Amino acid sequence: MILISLFLVFLFIGAYNFGGGYAMIPLIISLVVDKYGWIEMSDFINFVTISQVTPGPIAINLATFVGYTVGNGVIGSIIATLAVILPSFILITLIVMFMKKFSNNIHIKNFFIGIRPVVLGLIASSCVSVIDSDFYTIYSFIVFGIIFYLTTFKNLHPIIAIFVTGFIGMWII
């Protein structure tokens, strides 16, 4: 029964996503952590961290990690991963089929322009959701500030930032 629930939850998450994986995070938290209580917020934060350093889209990686944990191993990860990508796969297939016919439609163009602020809001919401947890200390925010500055203004490569913060987390925090 948990596998069916896992499939339906991640199918829903995949179907109501605009803006990519980071925009999905608030919805995943509200369902997987808050509503169903399948995992704790601290575990979810760890999954987000691991998903960021693992190759591939964050939403798919999150589905894989949550599915593995909730669905008792590999079968759960496969089910959650397939469920989260299925709506996008179907939608993209349909879009490609009708792209030429509707590519110049002003209403379609305006629709996508209209949802851009929502995407930004969902990404900001995911940041607030993660910050609200008791998982962070003052040291975490200091490291965040330094890494944000270095990656944004000094062009520090994200891979270096990940390894540096991982090392800092292991030995200092």
Instruction: Give me the pLDDT at residue 36, please.
Output: 94
* pLDDT, tens digit (0-9, with 9 covering 90-100), for 28-72: 899 999 999 999 998 998 898 888 888 888 889 999 999 999 998
For the question of whether the overall pTM of this predicted structure is more than 0.75, the answer is: no
pLDDT digits (tens, 9 = 90+) for 73-82: 999 999 999 9
The tens digit of pLDDT for each residue in 8-21 reads 999 999 988 766 67
pLDDT at 133 over 70: no
Report the b/e string of 141-157 with b at 16+ CB within 10 A: eebeeebeeeeeeeebe
Per-residue confidence at 169, pLDDT binned at 50, 70, 90? confident
3-class DSSP state of 172: coil
Name, in order, each residue with C-beta under 8 angstroms of 45's C-beta and a sequence gap of 6 or more.
130, 133, 135
